Structure 1
């Protein structure tokens, strides 16, 4: 009897082992199949080769001679970063401990002026030679925002019973933005910026997919042109990302590749109107059809398009001459769109640190909330990442939107987009060495080189020497300018400087500028991006050196 039991027990054990083996094998086979289907054979082979190359090179870099050489180069690069950002010399006054006695307001103002002088800041953003960065609504707008700050500087919407006006203003900001994107019945919240809006949407769709569909290993699908905040949110929330290439001509995400990447774990797909790198938009209607068919979310990133793209049609700019610059449907009127992010602190001219994340309905928004009814401090509930939030920012945003009004935003859209299209058209017709990426419908224009002797990043470095602060892009190498109200008066100067920069880059390239150097390092080998990553980390460390 005992021997029989032992035999049955052994058979059961072996059966369980076999079952477990096949379960694990099947699980990883399905994962591999989905991964291969999403990326394709060529990309999968390239990724595997890169992975092997990285490990081989990293092993080689452990050799004493190689390790010493790399460390020396990295130390030099880090020193250069620190020398550029951290004030040097005995003449610099440093405040590394609290003063024994509090300083007067006059002293504080004077010390701030002194800091500006000591640091030798040569960049005057008011001159308008910036790509984005400062979305200035003018001196009158500045006074309105400062007055709102002063009135609500200590307010905190975490306590709506103490600050009812701030609560009301936030609700009205969300309502006004929802109406702008054609969803008066929708829902949303304010956030600290586009990154938080995007991360909140990723979190919302993750929790929705878990509750409604039982998804425990969530995945999202994004274009290569999508903002890095989607990767950041996925990294924070432990979500797998499938990155899909964009068409090299239209700069829109490949819908067939998106469809192949969708599987049972997909929680959302992403499209942009407009994207940050080259200012183009994805086919939101096509993505919406996929979202409806597979019952997944669709987030439209309008952080950069913000208060420009909703006004293009009203401004008569939804389509340019010869069919160029055509704006495709993108807002909540498109079936399948479940969320839209919009930065009020960009072309809404609100103070920095304000954005809105919108959802098709309040049922979806509830998955964004964090609620803890068991905390010993009482029931804790917050709508977004932050607990306490600056009510002054909300008041400043509300004031900016009231000050501009719809007509103000309409005229702003018309002048900025006309400026961007003038730059794009002039490059196309008058700078034969360059070409425009895609057909950007709004405020961002990106240009690459089609001349074998012109490195576009060298052009970017030459523009920097002329005082312009532009953005370098990769895949393909390009440079972009995000036009603002400050750019409108500078378009002729931009074109003149660009023509000179192209000539200089063609005749006497140095190959030593910031754009060229960083891009070259990132593409020099399989470990190039890792080296750039180390430099980026050193840069972040340097930000906190007094």
Structure 2
């Protein structure tokens, strides 16, 4: 059992603790060298030093009570105002209000919770509320639907991976309360037709949320640089709420996101208050109670540090790097970028290669790329950390393709095993398949497959006869990965 499974009998020295932490970090992906194409957004050492100083200055403060820490209240209201102005508040013709949250997931949870409570007040006849959204919408919206009793009605996207407005309109029922679009959608980096969705929302009296968590701090600056950015923000009639992550292309410290609303009356449905508690009156504007002051302060600091000119400069470099990567990927035999991304989010696909196998080769070369499905692809979120590594990545990508294009014994064996597995799982009784997926998840969780080759896992997932089997496999794997480690 690991030493960390229980409190040490005696405390360790600061030096020993920090050394141990550093040694464990050595096994993480090297995002500082631009090797991670997701999860971390890095604008350089100067910004990092500012973030750490600002965060540390307010690391103990709690945003739960703004009367105790008026500094945090000022930081938050300033951040919301700056973000709102950037995202169309000046042209919206309404009072734009909002709050900071812990991240995009919380912002999306709040958007759905607000819509549900709005419908309870304004349309009490609706007992089973629904929201209509494209299949490419972020899974946090499915989580919100699960948490808050709202049915998520998913609609296939068009061939260009953008939301199909006609199909979404056809999916509206008397129980629909909310439409959702993305700017951009995470899988392929394309902006949904928000203007058209806004027209539908206005005509049907529905709310429309724009998930700009990824693009909200990039698209406005890309537009100023001359890139063709479709309408997507609060200046679009019919958009009633919008979410944007500051810890992505805002280069703030985690976790920092903003949820914006068209009007204080709508935001009121986001709030929670308990006035009958013996401990006093308890109001809470967002999902969380305690709110780390450091994240709020650091967001304010970096936005004031970079300013519009700083963000435009960063966007220019990132968009140029993304364009170079797109050209390099499309020029690599067997590979192509899916769709026509509107910013610096790309998906690498292939019509003749096992793209997951290509991803495994890149992982072994030290790169971290997320795997996607329907269609199979590798995901890249390009930020400032990648500007200096585009050439080395493209070289390793070409080498990976060369390796995968020359199947070896391991690949032939894996392919044969997968074909056998596909035949077996479709011939076995459902209960036995469920038991086998549980065994497979334990094997994956205890081995090194997740940090090395994942193509077999995606092949197994694709072999399972039902979504329930896939869900069971992933849930069991999640259980394995979140248990205390047995290694010291």
Report the TM-score when normalising by structure 2: 0.86
Among candidates 139, 142, 145, match of residue 231 of structure 1: 142
Among candidates 25, 47, 66, match of residue 160 of structure 1: 66
SS in 2 for 1:336: coil
Deviations 1:48-89 (A, max 9, x none): xxxxxxxxxxxxxxxxxxxxxxxxxxxxxxxxxxxxxxxx9x
The answer for the alignment partner of 2:89 in structure 1 is 183
Alpha-carbon separation, structure 2, partners of 1:153 and 1:131: 28
The answer for the alignment partner of 2:48 in structure 1 is 142
Deviations 1:10-53 (A, max 9, x none): xxxxxxxxxxxxxxxxxxxxxxxxxxxxxxxxxxxxxxxxxxxx
Aligned residue runs from structure 1 range 523-538, under 5 A: 523-527=462-466, 530-531=469-470, 533-538=472-477
> Does the 8 A contact of 2:131 with 2:151 survive in 1?
yes
**Post-superposition offset of 1:470:** 0.7
Alpha-carbon separation, structure 1, partners of 2:201 and 2:332: 41
Aligned residue runs from structure 1 range 355-434, under 5 A: 355-428=257-330, 430-434=331-335
Alpha-carbon separation, structure 1, partners of 2:222 and 2:171: 32
Distance change in 2, residues 1:374/1:255 (3 Å)? same
Distance change in 2, residues 1:545/1:97 (3 Å)? closer
Alpha-carbon separation, structure 1, partners of 2:46 and 2:171: 49
**Post-superposition offset of 1:427:** 2.3
**Post-superposition offset of 1:102:** 4.6
The answer for the alignment partner of 1:353 in structure 2 is 255
Deviations 1:461-492 (A, max 9, x none): 12212211111111111112111111111111
The answer for the alignment partner of 1:243 in structure 2 is 154
Distance change in 2, residues 1:110/1:426 (3 Å)? closer
Alpha-carbon separation, structure 2, partners of 1:166 and 1:258: 40
**Post-superposition offset of 1:540:** 4.2
Among candidates 306, 315, 320, match of residue 216 of structure 2: 306
Distance change in 2, residues 1:466/1:288 (3 Å)? same
Aligned residue runs from structure 1 range 396-545, under 5 A: 396-428=298-330, 430-451=331-352, 454-508=353-407, 510=411, 511=414, 514-527=453-466, 530-531=469-470, 533-545=472-484
Residue 111, structure 1, aligned to residue 20, structure 2? yes
Alpha-carbon separation, structure 2, partners of 1:304 and 1:287: 19
The answer for the alignment partner of 2:174 in structure 1 is 264
Aligned residue runs from structure 1 range 292-303, under 5 A: 292-303=202-213
Residue 252, structure 1, aligned to residue 196, structure 2? no
* 95-104 or 384-393, which deviates more: 95-104
**Post-superposition offset of 1:399:** 1.0
> Does the 8 A contact of 1:521 with 1:529 survive in 2?
no
Alpha-carbon separation, structure 2, partners of 1:532 and 1:216: 28
The answer for the alignment partner of 1:59 in structure 2 is none
> Does the 8 A contact of 1:303 with 1:343 survive in 2?
yes
Gaps of 5+ in 2: 416-451
The answer for the alignment partner of 1:81 in structure 2 is none
> Does the 8 A contact of 1:199 with 1:229 survive in 2?
yes
SS in 1 for 2:179: strand
Residue 172, structure 1, aligned to residue 78, structure 2? yes
> Does the 8 A contact of 2:30 with 2:36 survive in 1?
no
**Post-superposition offset of 1:252:** 0.6
Gaps of 5+ in 1: 1-87, 319-326
Q: Cα RMSD over matched residues? A: 1.9
Alpha-carbon separation, structure 2, partners of 1:111 and 1:479: 33
Distance change in 2, residues 1:189/1:293 (3 Å)? same
**Post-superposition offset of 1:104:** 4.3
Residue 337, structure 1, aligned to residue 239, structure 2? yes
**Post-superposition offset of 1:545:** 1.0
Select the structure of larger CA radius of gyration.
1
Deviations 1:116-169 (A, max 9, x none): 4xxx51632212121121101211112111211222121112222221101110
User: Runs of 4 or more off by more than 6 Å in structure 1?
Assistant: none
Distance change in 2, residues 1:280/1:142 (3 Å)? same
Q: How many residues were matched structurally?
A: 440
> Does the 8 A contact of 1:317 with 1:414 survive in 2?
no
> Does the 8 A contact of 1:157 with 1:388 survive in 2?
yes
**Post-superposition offset of 1:100:** 4.8
Alpha-carbon separation, structure 2, partners of 1:166 and 1:222: 35
Alpha-carbon separation, structure 2, partners of 1:359 and 1:528: 35
**Post-superposition offset of 1:227:** 0.4
Alpha-carbon separation, structure 2, partners of 1:158 and 1:241: 31
**Post-superposition offset of 1:441:** 1.2
The answer for the alignment partner of 1:275 in structure 2 is 185
> Does the 8 A contact of 1:180 with 1:310 survive in 2?
yes
Alpha-carbon separation, structure 2, partners of 1:305 and 1:340: 11
> Does the 8 A contact of 1:424 with 1:445 survive in 2?
yes
Distance change in 2, residues 1:529/1:412 (3 Å)? farther
The answer for the alignment partner of 1:132 in structure 2 is 38
* 430-439 or 413-422, which deviates more: 430-439
Deviations 1:501-532 (A, max 9, x none): 12221221624874422222222132366245
> Does the 8 A contact of 2:464 with 2:470 survive in 1?
no
